[in-house]
């Protein structure tokens, strides 16, 4: 709610940190940053957001900064019954930002547990960073540009991260971000792969020295093992490690890409679907789902998802390649040529327009124009665009029937350790050479067929022994009744846990396994019984129903009415009329 763009980076960072903190809780599926932020500055209602994201619980709020102070409001809405569970305001000092992030994350997690059932919560969800507010803001600005996924923005982000490293050399995150930036530029052929990976390597090495166990460190290691070292087994292992620490769409997308490399397109679809579940408005996730459909030769669906990805990020460089190739493989040669020729705003670091038109001429049988395109593509073989040029040269030569020349280019890519090799394995245009002896030999050398990937099982062992559950359930009920704890409208799960002297995680699981209720339902059952007893007392004949409900421990009219009707099947008014008639 602050006007300054610098404050916007700050507020976005706070929100993203809370999202990441909640995502660490294994029992929760938390919508990722891109989809949550999609609705920023858009005229839309809470109901519309809930429907588009398909969520069961909605967390909203605002941040207002004023000099060295900040006011953060947070509220939670039950999307099934459409009512406000709670609302809370935090007035804090700006310098305490990391402490506040953890405080709010834990507060939300505790409230979620009270209303949706057992989840295990660590004592701390956000680790503080040894940074000043100004440095933190600069870091968030760098992340903003890094996530744009284009050449110029990536370089801009790297410059910001380098300045932060000069100031804070023991802060691991900017090292990881620089590694990610150069890895992206090398993988996408926007810089020579070898050069980009060599520049990135010392940054990653330093990040791992500072923090090997973070999910981002493991994910960066995973990418390197796949796209640089071509070791899928190790790539899967590191991705699994990242997933064990924190369930994010980025990890599911990563695993989907590895399965795609191996040609396991069914499982790859399952993983990209999970990524889209967590981040349904992510441009890169929609692109990759479209790409998998392209590999499955379902070109109509491929184009649908690829075009949708561009509605979320119009400068994403990959979708236009596969939109055009889908048109070509659908037999729409002239439409594809027109599409490639009409690409607007294509970066100078992108050969999609040239390569796409060259392939289109091959499909159309215009050999003369096709060869002109091939010769122009060949001029880039000794430049930083070698990877992109080789891709289109391989594809075009296969289309022309020049299989030996195409495989020569594949060998050149292999010798230069270019990541594009891994994409050739499943490319539909390369079908004519898939069984060629030379091609198969290269693919076997590049892609190991013994990765034996097994997804991790994300579960927790029971904290309580079965024989203890019934004992503690009776003790908990006795404590509730003797102390009438439920009459406290602000009673929390932590409060109840302190009375029976058990850790909060244990009591949460006790409610889940012992009485099959979440905390809110458990306590409101006592309140409901209290209300039913009080409402028929003669002395309460002239007292309003809601006054009796509040005296029974309820603190919300909506919660009371909704819970009463759910349990009794009728409204409180109808219930009272029936009781008074009897």
Q: What is the pLDDT of residues 337-355, one digit of tens each?
A: 999 999 976 555 579 999 9
For the chain, the average pLDDT equals 87
Tens digit of pLDDT for each residue in 192-237? 777 888 898 899 899 989 988 888 889 888 988 998 889 999 999 9
Q: Return d(Cα 168, Cα 449) in angstroms, integer.
A: 43
Torsions phi, psi of 470, nearest 5?
-60, -35
What is the percent of the chain with per-residue pLDDT over 70, rounded to a whole number? 93
Q: Which of 76, 125, 134 is nearest to 101 (CA)?
A: 125
Cβ contact 526:486 at 8 Å: yes
DSSP 195-235: HHHHHHHHHHHHHHHH-SSSHHHHHHHHHIIIIIT--HHHH
* Structure token pair of residue 429: 């245009």
Q: How far apart are the C-alpha atoms of 26 and 256, rounded to whole Å?
A: 20
Residue 504: band (very low, low, confident or very high) from pLDDT cuts 50, 70, 90: confident
Band (407; pLDDT cuts 50, 70, 90):
very high
Number of H helices, E strands in the chain: 29, 3
In the sheet that holds 69-78, the strands lie side by side as: 57-66, 69-78, 83-93
| Cβ proximity of 138 and 163 under 8 Å | yes
Q: Which fold has domain 467-581?
A: Arc Repressor Mutant, subunit A (1.10.10)
Identify the CATH number of the domain defined by range 5-128: 3.40.50
The CATH code belonging to domain 323-460 is 1.25.40
Q: What is the pLDDT of residue 345?
A: 62
User: Per residue in 158-167, pLDDT tens?
Assistant: 999 999 999 9
Q: Where is 87: in which H helix or E strand?
A: strand 83-93
Q: Which residue ranges make up each domain of the chain? A: 5-128, 323-460, 467-581
Per residue, the 3-state secondary structure of 236-255, as one string, reads HHHHHHHHHHCCCHHHHHHH
CA atoms within 13 A on the CB side of 120: 10
């Amino acid at each position: 709610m602050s006007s300054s763009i610098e404050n916007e980076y700050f507020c976005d960072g706070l929100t993203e940190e809370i999202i990441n903190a909640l995502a660490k809780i294994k029992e929760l599926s938390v919508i990722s940053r891109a989809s949550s932020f999609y609705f920023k500055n858009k005229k839309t209602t809470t109901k519309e957001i809930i429907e588009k994201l398909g969520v069961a619980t909605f967390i909203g709020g605002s941040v207002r900064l004023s000099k060295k102070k900040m006011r953060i409001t947070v509220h939670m809405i039950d999307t099934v019954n459409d009512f406000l569970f709670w609302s809370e305001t935090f007035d804090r000092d700006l310098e305490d930002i990391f402490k506040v992030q953890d405080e709010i994350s834990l507060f939300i997690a505790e409230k979620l547990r009270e209303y949706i059932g057992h989840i295990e919560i660590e004592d701390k969800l956000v680790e503080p960073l040894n940074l000043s507010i100004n440095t933190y803001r600069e870091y968030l600005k760098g992340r903003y540009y890094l996530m744009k996924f284009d050449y110029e923005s990536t370089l801009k982000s790297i410059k910001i991260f380098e300045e932060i490293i000069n100031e804070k050399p023991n802060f691991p995150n900017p090292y990881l971000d620089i590694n990610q930036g150069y890895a992206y530029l090398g993988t996408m052929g926007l810089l020579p792969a070898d050069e980009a990976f060599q520049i990135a390597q010392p940054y990653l090495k330093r990040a791992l020295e500072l923090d090997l166990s973070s999910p981002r460190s493991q994910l960066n290691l995973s990418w390197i093992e796949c796209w640089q070292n071509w070791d899928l087994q190790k790539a899967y292992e590191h991705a699994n490690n990242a997933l064990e620490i924190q369930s994010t769409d980025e990890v599911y997308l990563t695993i989907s890409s590895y399965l795609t490399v191996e040609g396991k397109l069914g499982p790859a679809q399952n993983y990209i679907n999970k990524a889209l579940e967590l981040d349904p408005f992510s441009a890169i996730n929609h692109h990759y789902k479209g790409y998998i459909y392209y590999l499955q030769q379902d070109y109509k669906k491929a184009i649908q998802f690829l075009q949708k990805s561009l509605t979320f990020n119009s400068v994403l460089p990959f979708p236009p390649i596969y939109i055009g190739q889908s048109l070509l493989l659908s037999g729409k040669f002239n439409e594809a040529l027109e599409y490639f020729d009409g690409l607007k705003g294509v970066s100078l670091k992108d050969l999609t327009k040239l390569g796409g038109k060259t392939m289109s001429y091959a499909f159309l049988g215009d050999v003369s124009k096709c060869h002109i395109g091939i010769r122009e593509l060949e001029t880039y073989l000794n430049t930083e665009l070698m990877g992109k040029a080789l891709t289109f040269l391989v594809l075009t030569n296969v289309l022309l029937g020049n299989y030996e020349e195409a495989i020569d280019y594949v060998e050149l890519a292999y010798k230069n350790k270019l990541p594009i090799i891994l994409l050739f394995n499943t490319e539909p245009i390369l079908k004519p050479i898939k069984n060629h002896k030379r091609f198969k030999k290269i693919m076997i050398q590049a892609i190991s067929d013994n990765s034996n990937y097994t997804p991790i099982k994300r579960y927790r062992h029971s904290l309580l022994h079965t024989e203890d559950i019934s004992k503690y359930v009776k003790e908990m009920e006795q404590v509730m009744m003797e102390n009438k704890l439920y009459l406290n409208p602000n009673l929390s799960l932590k409060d109840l846990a302190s009375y029976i002297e058990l850790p909060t995680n244990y009591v949460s699981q006790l409610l889940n396994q012992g009485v099959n209720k979440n905390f809110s339902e458990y306590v409101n059952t006592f309140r409901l019984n209290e209300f039913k007893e009080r409402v028929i007392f003669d002395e309460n004949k002239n007292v309003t129903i809601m006054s009796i409900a509040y005296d029974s421990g309820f603190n919300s009219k909506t919660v009371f009415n909704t819970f009463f009707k759910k349990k009794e099947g009728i409204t409180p008014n109808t219930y009272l009329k029936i009781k008074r008639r009897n």
